[in-house]
């Protein structure tokens, strides 16, 4: 491993990560080809990719980033957060507030300052927490800070008191549930149940134009790539080793002198920020953010994406997110009445027969093949080392 020092940081990151390399290549290719096919080829061409497909893939990518964020803390640090949807939604709300301010006087009541729902609720002036959201940079800062600060405060309290395991899971669920109820209240000033919608443009570009959509799509791809690299950097660094140690035996790690709570807190905050970014990219692509995103059930679903893909492998999380959501899209269209059976069945079967997710299945098959070949199988299997 010493020769790693001679290489560039990126190469070093991907050195032992064959699947990750493939994933990144697919992503880069997607970023080029999909917008190209959408914008260049005419609608009736064989190579045309519809805006529907592009926004759908864009949505999957946001979910993929969210899955990476969850896998980072669950797969590598053993923190099962049942409230990660909250960070996603907070990032989404930060973006939504910016987009709301961009509407300006084009709302139905033509008020330049206040969003429609505030005019409607007889609010006279903008509440203080809406200030600054007309600036893109400020909103983007908030996309990171709002989830980050919540995660910091929450994590600081929880990890310091050594709340672990199911207790932690349940209080994260309580957190997102409390936020759900709070955001439902119209008096909170976030649009109540209807949330924020009817966005017009972002940075001056219309959200309804295909060019903007393509740009958002490319931004999502980049976000997934960057999120992947950051997470990869963390898990391959010394810090990452400590995290895995905490996951496997927290008390021992503590006895060895590691300040377990700080490691956990750090990775929890990073993960929440990644989730926030995912939310921020999600909102302009689907066109609405509402308290439903805080629903505890959404957070559970995220866990399921990661589990289906393969806990503890970052690319597995991406695969899981895309796979489950594609299944959902397909089933709700094709078997509207039966899709819950299929989705439920998928989860049960995955946990029973694919304990390491789809990625693990792949590894299992490969392993069998290589045992059959009786070659130098052992060396290759250890390349999967980060799978627990």
Contacts of other proteins in 47-106 (CB under 8 A): 47-53, 55-57, 59, 80, 105-106
Exactly one of 140, 141, 149, 171 binds other proteins (CB under 8 A); which one?
171
Instruction: Lay out the site mask for other proteins across 105-134 (x = CB under 8 A, - = otherwise).
Output: xxxxxx------x-xxxx------------
Q: Side-chain half-sphere of 289: how many Cα atoms within 13 Å?
A: 31
Under the binding rule (CB under 8 A), the answer on residue 370 touching other proteins is: no
Considering only CA atoms, which of 23, 6, 4 is closest in space to residue 15?
Answer: 4
Under the binding rule (CB under 8 A), the answer on residue 157 touching other proteins is: yes
Q: Which is nearer to other proteins, 63 or 133 (CB)?
A: 63
In angstroms, give the least distance from the CB of 263 to other proteins.
18
Query: If residue 256 lies in a helix (H) or strand (E), which one and from where to where?
Result: none
Stretch that binds other proteins, among 131-139, 142-150, 157-165, 226-234 (CB under 8 A): 157-165
Q: Which is nearer to other proteins, 135 or 211 (CB)?
A: 211
In angstroms, give the least distance from the CB of 135 to other proteins.
24
Tally Cβ neighbours within 10 Å of residue 328. Answer: 15
Distance CA 234, CA 262 (A): 14
In angstroms, give the least distance from the CB of 132 to other proteins.
25
Stretch that binds other proteins, among 133-141, 160-168, 214-222, 313-321 (CB under 8 A): 160-168
Considering only CA atoms, which of 231, 233, 236, 261 is closest in space to residue 246?
Answer: 261
Distance CA 54, CA 189 (A): 32
Distance CA 350, CA 319 (A): 14
Stretch that binds other proteins, among 63-71, 132-140, 196-204, 358-366 (CB under 8 A): 196-204
Q: Which is nearer to other proteins, 135 or 252 (CB)?
A: 252
How many chain residues are in contact with other proteins, going by CB under 8 A? 98
Under the binding rule (CB under 8 A), the answer on residue 351 touching other proteins is: yes
Contact 200, 106 (CB under 8 A): yes
Contact 205, 215 (CB under 8 A): yes
Q: Which is nearer to other proteins, 164 or 370 (CB)?
A: 164
Stretch that binds other proteins, among 25-33, 129-137, 269-277, 364-372 (CB under 8 A): 25-33
Contact 172, 164 (CB under 8 A): no
Contact 294, 198 (CB under 8 A): no
Tally Cβ neighbours within 10 Å of residue 336. Answer: 8
Structure tokens, 124:
């006279």
Residue 375, class by beta-carbon neighbours within 10 Å (0-12 exposed, 13-18 middle, 19+ buried)? exposed
Instruction: Lay out the site mask for other proteins across 289-328 (x = CB under 8 A, - = otherwise).
Output: -x-x---xx--x--xx--x---------------------
Contacts of other proteins in 205-234 (CB under 8 A): 208
């Amino acid at each position: 491993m010493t020769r790693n020092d001679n290489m560039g940081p990126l190469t070093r990151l991907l050195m032992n990560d064959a699947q990750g390399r493939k994933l990144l290549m697919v992503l880069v290719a997607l970023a080029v080809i999909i917008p190209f096919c959408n914008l260049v080829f005419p609608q009736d061409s064989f190579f045309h990719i519809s805006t529907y497909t592009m926004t759908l893939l864009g949505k999957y990518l946001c979910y993929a980033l969210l899955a990476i964020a969850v896998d980072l803390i669950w797969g590598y640090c053993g923190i099962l957060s049942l409230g990660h949807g909250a960070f996603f939604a907070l990032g989404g709300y930060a973006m939504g507030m910016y987009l709301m301010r961009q509407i300006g006087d084009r709302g139905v009541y033509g008020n330049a300052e206040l969003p429609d729902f505030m005019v409607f609720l007889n609010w006279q002036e903008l509440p203080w927490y809406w200030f600054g959201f007309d600036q893109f940079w400020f909103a983007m800062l908030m996309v990171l800070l709002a989830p980050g600060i919540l995660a910091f405060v929450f994590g600081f309290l929880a990890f310091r008191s050594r709340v672990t395991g199911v207790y932690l899971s349940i209080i994260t669920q309580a957190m997102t549930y409390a936020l759900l109820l709070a955001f439902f209240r119209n008096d909170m000033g976030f649009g109540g149940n209807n949330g924020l919608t009817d966005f017009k443009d972002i940075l001056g570009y219309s959200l309804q134009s295909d060019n903007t959509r393509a740009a958002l799509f490319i931004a999502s791809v980049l976000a997934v790539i960057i999120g992947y690299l950051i997470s990869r950097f963390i898990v391959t660094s010394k810090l990452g080793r400590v995290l895995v140690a905490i996951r496997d035996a927290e008390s021992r790690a503590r006895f060895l002198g590691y300040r377990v709570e700080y490691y956990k807190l750090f990775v929890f905050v990073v993960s929440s920020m990644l989730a926030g970014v995912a939310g921020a990219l999600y909102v302009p692509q689907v066109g609405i953010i509402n308290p439903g995103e805080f629903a505890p059930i959404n957070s559970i679903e995220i866990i399921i994406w990661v589990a289906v893909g393969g806990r503890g492998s970052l690319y597995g999380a991406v695969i899981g997110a895309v796979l489950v959501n594609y299944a959902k899209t397909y089933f709700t269209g094709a078997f509207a009445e039966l899709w819950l059976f299929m989705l439920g069945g998928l989860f049960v079967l995955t946990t029973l027969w694919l304990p390491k997710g789809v990625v693990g299945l792949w590894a299992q098959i490969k392993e069998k093949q290589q045992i059959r070949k009786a070659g130098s199988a052992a060396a290759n299997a250890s390349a999967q080392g980060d799978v627990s």
